[in-house]
Amino acid sequence: MLDSELIKDQLYDGVIDGDEAVVAGLTHEALDAGLAAGSVLYDALIPALQEVGALFERGEYFVPEMLTGAKAMKAGLNILRPILARTGAKPVGTYVLLTVKGDIHDIGKDLVRVMLEGSGFNVVDLGVNVSPETLIEAVKEHQPEVLGFSAFLTTTMPMFKVNIDALKEAGLRDKVRIMVGGAPVSEEFAVHVGADGYAAEASTASRIAIDFVQNPDTSPYLLQKGEHAATKTYAKIKGTGKALKWPSRRLPAKPSMTSLERVLAVLRHQEPDRVPHFEWVHDVDLIKNMTHGGGYWDLVDLLDIDGVMVAPTYRKTSLGNNIYSDEWGAVREIGKDNYGMPVDAKAPIKGYEDLETWQPPDPEADFRYEPIKVAVERFGGKRAIILQMRDVWSGPRDYMGYAQLFINLKERPALVEAVVQKCVDHYIRVIQRAAEMGVNVVFSGDDVADNRGPMFAPNLWENLFLPHYRRLTTAIHEAGLYHWKHSDGNMYPLLDSIVAAGSDGIDPIDPSGGMELKVVKAKYGDRVAIKGNVDQTELLMYGPPEAVVESVKSCIVDAGVGGGYVCSSSNSIHSGVDPELYKIMVDSIHHYGQYPLDMELLAPAKA
């Protein structure tokens, strides 16, 4: 008979390694060897998953390791569950979890779910974009001890309070503990909305939830309302009421460069006549509002935006109810911000067998290039025409499913690479054709990092993704174009390789990820152009206007000296951005960004 301690040690290691088959096999062995199901769970599986969470918190594990660890743990738990049920063991408690209405980010919530399940909770996951009405129904039906709300956007964080008010109105608020979390959420905000708990990480979230159930009155994590002085207003600031004063130095009647020359000068690390401006994405309704019903290209003219984004066409087939399928085989649901979010369960690539039939759309189809033709006719030779593409990450994310991609990175990296290969082959051909039509720059928006850093281990970047990334940048240069790389989050660990791979520009030097323009400028400014980073998570939403002006000035001081810099938001002009504040940002760039830079003018305003 096997030593029971040895089996438990091996089970523990199996979860740490994320090895589902090993954990399932050892769980059977442990039971056959006479170990109690409870002992297997509480002495091996639960401590192992807690260690996986701790490794993630310490930055030693990434999302793939966390998801495969949870999957392995679940393989053991599924075997134990019927036995535990027979012996009368009950779940730690019931936990209803959701991402709030208007928000479709799910992976952070999913990690919270796996940690809760691993800690013995019965989790009812309501998914993303969940309305208060659905929440109330679920609370009535499942009577959870704890409710968890995730929000990942400043615009959706107020839904915490809307949900809590709805619970109050339904007479349910006092029956549950409420926890909140998500990248932009803070403990202070949790207090502000009247939640009971907040956690920055998934593993802490599950520890607090256990505490809520076991020590409902004395939990040390219970937020002490009133003890945390709220320093932020969390309310829309309407501005200070004072009219903004622009510097007395007059704008030249006629700029000495075209927008195209300006952007190209930046890409060659030279000083243009003034700091250019363009954005990766503008919200459709904001465009309509600013142009009185016009489109993106009207906005470009209205604000004198230097770079024009244009994407190839991929046809959609409507499936009704805001759901459509696209030419890549993905099924998408249109939500807030008009984002066509892939429905992961319908992702076209589930396994190697799908690779034989799954093909990217035909890059030779002429209709794909219609928007490019029109953009070149309207703006060619005057403004920089920027082809909006992807590079190595978003393809597998959308065609395998986000969570499944992370799992595949650990379990089937060759499958992921095959998808990357096919996507990049397609992009290269599209880029070649677009180059022939007069495009100037390729801009690839592919988010591989969050606030902590890259979402997967560095060796995967080096060995799996980077070779294809290099293939892409080489093809872009061979087509006579420049490449601008966009990724959210803390990109510091990847920048050396991205710059070495030949990218010509970096965007948006994300301040939420702790990145600083002046640091990137000092280290890479002689090799790449830099774009960013006026904060869109609060400043461009709430102001005040004077702070927007000051932020533009400080960005120009940090990154604009000597040229090589495009001033823009720190992500996109999304639906929460105030059009007036965006206009003030653009006007500030025009007024303060003229070369030679006037450092006196750019000095911070006296308080």
| Closest-CA residue to 338 (of 300, 378, 367, 296) | 296
Mark 385-414 with x for binding to ligand B1M (rule: CB under 6 A) and - for no binding. -----------------x------------
How many CB atoms sit inside 10 A of residue 505's CB? 21
504 neighbors 528 (Cβ within 8 angstroms): yes
Q: Is 336 in the site for ligand B1M (CB under 6 A)?
A: yes
| Burial grade of 528 (CB within 10 A; 0-12, 13-18, 19 or more) | buried
| Closest-CA residue to 509 (of 487, 536, 539) | 487
Phi, psi of 179 (to 5 degrees): -115, 145
529-534 and 505-507 strand pairing = parallel
CB of 131 to ligand B1M, least distance (A): 14
- The amino acid that residue 122 corresponds to is N
142 neighbors 96 (Cβ within 8 angstroms): yes
| Closest-CA residue to 179 (of 150, 142, 213, 143) | 150
Q: Which residues inside 11-70 make contact with ligand B1M, applying CB under 6 A?
A: 63
Number of residues located near ligand B1M, criterion CB under 6 A: 47
Among residues 153 and 267, whose Cβ is nearest to ligand B1M? 153
Rounded Cα distance between 296 and 308, Å, is 9
Among residues 452 and 553, whose Cβ is nearest to ligand B1M? 452
CB of 302 to ligand B1M, least distance (A): 20
Among residues 2 and 210, whose Cβ is nearest to ligand B1M? 210
CB of 337 to ligand B1M, least distance (A): 4
Among residues 212 and 369, whose Cβ is nearest to ligand B1M? 212
Identify the residue among 80, 349, 385, 455 touching ligand B1M (CB under 6 A).
455
- In this structure, the dihedral spanned by the alpha carbons of residues 552, 553, 557 and 563, taken in order and rounded to 10 degrees, is 60
CB of 188 to ligand B1M, least distance (A): 15
Tell me the residue ranges of DSSP E strands in 371-451. 384-389, 441-445, 449-450
Q: Is 451 in the site for ligand B1M (CB under 6 A)?
A: yes
Identify the residue among 148, 544, 560, 564 touching ligand B1M (CB under 6 A).
148
Tell me the residue ranges of DSSP E strands in 234-306. none
Q: Is 106 in the site for ligand B1M (CB under 6 A)?
A: yes
Stretch that binds ligand B1M, among 97-105, 271-279, 368-376, 515-523 (CB under 6 A): 97-105
Q: Is 551 in the site for ligand B1M (CB under 6 A)?
A: no
Identify the residue among 202, 420, 466, 556 touching ligand B1M (CB under 6 A).
202
The Cα-based distances of 319 to 184, 324, 336, 338, 398 in angstroms read: 34, 5, 18, 16, 18
Angle at 341 between CA 335 and CA 343, to 5 degrees: 115
Mark 305-334 with x for binding to ligand B1M (rule: CB under 6 A) and - for no binding. ------------------------------
CB of 453 to ligand B1M, least distance (A): 10
Show the DSSP H helices in 232-283 as ranges.
Answer: 259-267
564 neighbors 525 (Cβ within 8 angstroms): yes
Show the DSSP H helices in 439-578 as ranges.
Answer: 458-460, 466-478, 492-500, 517-524, 539-542, 545-559
Rounded Cα distance between 441 and 418, Å, is 26
Q: Which residues inside 473-532 make contact with ligand B1M, applying CB under 6 A?
A: 488-489, 510, 512-513
Mark 556-575 with x for binding to ligand B1M (rule: CB under 6 A) and - for no binding. ---------------xx-x-
Among residues 261 and 326, whose Cβ is nearest to ligand B1M? 326
Stretch that binds ligand B1M, among 196-204, 227-235, 326-334, 347-355 (CB under 6 A): 196-204
Identify the residue among 27, 50, 119, 150 touching ligand B1M (CB under 6 A).
150
CB of 220 to ligand B1M, least distance (A): 17
Stretch that binds ligand B1M, among 106-114, 221-229, 320-328, 599-607 (CB under 6 A): 106-114
Residue carrying the six token digits 């968890």: 148
Among residues 48 and 281, whose Cβ is nearest to ligand B1M? 281
Q: Residue 420, CB half-sphere, CA atoms under 13 Å: how many?
A: 25
Identify the residue among 71, 105, 368, 553 touching ligand B1M (CB under 6 A).
105
How many CB atoms sit inside 10 A of residue 127's CB? 13
Positions in the binding site for ligand B1M (CB under 6 A)? 63, 102-109, 111-112, 148-150, 152-154, 179-184, 199, 201-202, 205, 281, 335-337, 339, 341, 402, 447, 450-451, 455, 488-489, 510, 512-513, 537, 571-572, 574
